[in-house]
Amino acid sequence: MEELYHLYCADCLKKLKDFPENTFDMIFADPPYLLSNGGISCQNGRVVSVNKGKWDESKGIKEDFNFHKKWLEACKRVLKQNGTLWVSGTYHSIYQCGFAMQLLGYQILNDIAWFKPNASPNMSCRCFTASHETLIWAKKDKKSRHYFNYDLMKNGDFPKDFIKKPHTQMRSVWAIGTTAPKEKVFGKHPTQKPLELLERIILASTKENDLILDPFTGSGTTGVAAVKLGRRFVGIEQNPEYAALAGKRIDDAYQHRENQQ
């Protein structure tokens, strides 16, 4: 693949069939958490619905599990032998994804707790405030010899993460704030991930020029981080509005990179 990135507006379950086996060095997947079922939350002091859209509605535990297993299987086929897969989720989805990954033979390397110091308060006051998401990091199978940039994770500069101390091993709890408004200037996506999170993931698990896939691209955060860091990127997003937003964001990152060189 010659160009730095490709974006497809398609259902990833169909589109993934077009790629040959063993194509990607790393896959970051932020699938629907399937939690849009009428709950409420609090944002800037206001009560808001947690509903993200039709694409995020649960169809029941078994059907949800089948969906996660299908896309995880399709991703395994296109992941290189020494490649790794990252999956993000909350309790609504992450246990299903983790179990499906184990059934499919992926080997889990870490489960990262992404702690959000500025998470919204809990409205019901009947349980703890949800303030983290989980990221499962796994290699393709037992034989895979995966890449980990241990030195950069230990000795790199992470000034905004109060958990990470200089020159000590990176732990599996990362303190990273929710997505800043300045990252939303091209438009809004209800579950946009912060750039800082994707940059850390890409730096930890890929080398320059590696090929990264995001089958649930959304607003394109993985593509923005990939292009910024000199990795090649393939994104798939089924919603045309979100795909257009991702295109604008990734083009902008590409222009920035070109101007710097």
Whole-number Cα distances in Å, 243 to 214, 219, 221, 237: 12, 7, 11, 6
Which of 90/155 has CB closer to ligand SAM?
Answer: 90
User: Which region among 6-14, 42-50, 94-102, 201-209 touches ligand SAM (by CB under 6 A)?
Assistant: 6-14
Query: What is d(CA 208, CA 120) in angstroms, rounded to the nearest whole number?
Result: 36
Interacting positions 219-248 with ligand SAM (CB under 6 A): 219, 221, 236-239, 242
**50 is a site residue for ligand SAM (CB under 6 A):** no
Size of the site for ligand SAM (CB under 6 A): 19
Pick one of 7, 12, 97, 227: the residue that binds ligand SAM (CB under 6 A). 12
**216 is a site residue for ligand SAM (CB under 6 A):** yes
Which of 144/206 has CB closer to ligand SAM?
Answer: 206
Query: What is d(CA 245, CA 218) in angstroms, rounded to the nearest whole number?
Result: 8
Close Cβ partners of 112 (under 8 Å, ≥ 6 residues apart): 134, 135, 136, 137, 172, 173, 174
Query: What is d(CA 242, CA 245) in angstroms, rounded to the nearest whole number?
Result: 5
Q: How many CB atoms lie within 10 A of CB 59?
A: 10
**174 is a site residue for ligand SAM (CB under 6 A):** no
Binding site for ligand SAM (CB under 6 A): 11-13, 30, 32, 55, 189, 191-193, 216, 218-219, 221, 236-239, 242
